[in-house]
Amino acid sequence: MKTNLDRRKFFGKVAGAAAGAALLKFSSPVETFAGSLLPASAEPPGSAGTIDPVPVGSPSPEITGTYVIPPDCPEWTHHAVFYQVYPQSFYDTDGDGIGDLQGIIRKLDYIKSLGVDAVWINPFFVSPFCDGGYDTADYYRVAPRYGTNDDARKLFAEAHKRGLKILFDFVASYTSMEHPWFKASAQQEKGKYSNWYVWTDNVWLNPPKAYEGAFIKGHGTRNGQYMQNFYYCEPALNYGFASPDPGQKWQLPIDHPDVLAMREEMKNVFRFWMDMGADGFRADMAGALVKTAGIEGNQQFFKTHEDGTKRFWLEIREMIRKRYPEAFIVSEWSYPIAALDGCFHADFFHWFEGYNDLFQKESWRILNGYSEGHSYFDVEGKGDVAFFLNRFMGQYEPTKGKGYISLPLGNHDNARLGNRRSDDDLEIIYAFGLTMPGVTFIYYGNEIGMRQMPEDWPQVEGAYRPRNGARTPMQWARGKNLGFSSAPADRLYLPVDPAGDAPTVEAAEADPHSLLHRTRALIRLKHTEPALAAYAEFVPLYAREHTYPFVYARAKGKDVVLVILNPSGTESSADFPWRVPSSNLRLLAGKEVRVKRNSDTLTVTVPGRSYAIYKAT
């Protein structure tokens, strides 16, 4: 995802919802969620950004061990952990200062050593790099700075030799201005590609107010304005309009022949990379295909769930069932109710308020100018996990058995998690991410604790703060450019962390207590514990407003795991129902906490900045 977000407008629209949510007071633990949520067939009012608070219900959560495995979801994904690679920053083999596909190939053994199952790689296609490669100029060819199509083919093959899967980044909603399709569509003469992009029919007349700010005028010889997605250099492909205005002839229906022709070409792009050896894709801005009036900024991620958009992804999913049954696709939609309705195997749920409340609520962390507050995962202990959980459960309950929600452990669009946090703090975050239901994605470098760079870091290829400080080169070893590249420092894609104690893979490998080794241990736990399967039951046990710790159970049949998290700097306690027919708790990860059982209740006392993962035995 890339944006030139109008965050002020976006947060203005969700401010009312946030203020309303603040009125909800939890007088008892969030076990009140159990059995009180919307039925699977219901869609809550509003969007993921404005979803209503979950109603209060039974105060007594039951751990039943029941679960439903999503249909058509490949077996290999049920305990899977994914590793995200930003290719220009991972490893440079030709000395030009930019990472490349050969660099990823050379580091596959390291990636495999983490214990992950698959790798998602950000776009590596031909591009003018106005937006880090998301502005695609040729869907069928690897950008020369990354290598060749043969390098991509070799990458897929070498990954498969090691038991790893590769997901490419499928940018289906827009292209670069430099794409030949767009150049042809911008011409005065009508042709095959004229309707492949959204153009008005008069450069002098602005589109209706409902589309204010979405169009660019004065480009090419065509008499019209074209629709951008975010950056001006990213014209929107034309999937049609959900409800075309009869007075605006340029608004084509979703079944217009030219719209259908463009859609078929995008299916060809998908088949091309899958037939070369890819194992699936991450869909950029998956909800932003068919156009709707009045949609602004970040709302394209969660408020556009038109049937026409879903229809395209349903057709892709059907192709997967028939031709690529082991493939996996994950969406950047942040509206699981729509994304998991037969369209995708998983959905990233991070463009919603609750995600920020976990990791980046502070203005100096999120660095977008429009947020202030306290992260739950912070030593100061002022965060609110109930606010996150309320919104999460509103999407989780209706989608159980349909697909997986992913709460990514960092990505290329957000500031790094390593921002004024110690390795112990990060370990607690990773314990959370690897024990929650769904599939886990880990951003490259987070496993060694790479840090967010300062706000004044160079802003390149559309990476404005905080992204500029989160996309810095992978830190492999002490020495020149921290082992990333042999190029002069001034030719690097971005400068490396200059700190004398910058974490590196080399140093982490040598330290048996490093964050790297602790992350590997947590990944192994996700693979080996049945109750940590992506589909296993999730039961919140203790999650009070502005209170620590956060406690929940995961269960599959008789296998039960208890997770206790206290990222605050002070000791905290919790009482919660525990009706599990077992007498012992065996520590799987973290540190022992004081546990007292009284009939059907557990009381836990948890030291500050600590966590515990127990198995009921």
pLDDT tens column, 533-544: 999 999 999 999
Q: Is the pLDDT of residue 164 over 60?
A: yes
Phi, psi (5° rounding) for residue 97?
90, 0
Distance CA 279, CA 268 (A): 16
- Residue 168's H or E segment, with its range, is strand 165-171
pLDDT at 43: 32
How far is residue 294 from each of residues 151, 169, 230, 266, 306, measured CA to CA in Å?
A: 43, 27, 15, 26, 13
* Residue written as token pair 């078929």: 264
pLDDT at 28: 31
pLDDT at 14: 33
Question: Quick one: CA dihedral 269, 273, 279, 285, positive or negative?
Answer: negative
Query: Regarding beta strands 610-616 and 559-566, do their DSSP bridges make them parallel or antiparallel, or are they unpaired?
Result: antiparallel
pLDDT at 42: 31
Distance CA 277, CA 283 (A): 17
Mean of pLDDT values over 28-54: 32
Query: Regarding beta strands 280-284 and 165-171, do their DSSP bridges make them parallel or antiparallel, or are they unpaired?
Result: parallel
Distance CA 418, CA 426 (A): 7
**How far from chain centre, in Å, is Cα 229?**
19
Question: Quick one: CA dihedral 532, 536, 540, 546, positive or negative?
Answer: positive
pLDDT at 295: 58
Cis before 466 (ω within 30) = yes
In this structure, the dihedral spanned by the alpha carbons of residues 450, 452, 456 and 457, taken in order and rounded to 10 degrees, is 40
Among the listed residues 313, 1, 286, 269, the one whose alpha carbon sits nearest the alpha carbon of residue 139: 269
Number of neighbours of residue 187 by Cβ within 10 angstroms: 13
Among the listed residues 180, 153, 285, 163, the one whose alpha carbon sits nearest the alpha carbon of residue 231: 285
Cis before 549 (ω within 30) = yes
The model's pLDDT over 543-575, given as tens digits with 9 standing for 90+, comes to 999 999 999 999 999 999 999 999 999 999 999
Percent of the chain having pLDDT more than 90? Answer: 83
Q: Is the pLDDT of residue 336 over 80?
A: yes
Distance CA 432, CA 410 (A): 13
Quick one: pLDDT band at residue 10, thresholds 50, 70, 90?
very low
According to DSSP, the residues that pair with 587 across neighbouring strands are 614
* Residue written as token pair 């290829």: 461
The model's pLDDT over 442-499, given as tens digits with 9 standing for 90+, comes to 999 999 999 999 999 999 999 999 999 999 999 999 999 999 999 999 999 999 999 9
Mean of pLDDT values over 284-306: 70
Number of neighbours of residue 76 by Cβ within 10 angstroms: 14
Mean of pLDDT values over 76-96: 98
Mean of pLDDT values over 381-395: 96
According to DSSP, the residues that pair with 284 across neighbouring strands are 171
Quick one: pLDDT band at residue 296, thresholds 50, 70, 90?
low
Distance CA 256, CA 276 (A): 31
Residues in Cβ contact with 330 at an 8 Å cutoff, skipping those fewer than 6 apart: 120, 167, 280, 281, 282, 283, 344, 345, 346, 347, 348, 406, 439
Q: Is the pLDDT of residue 18 over 70?
A: no
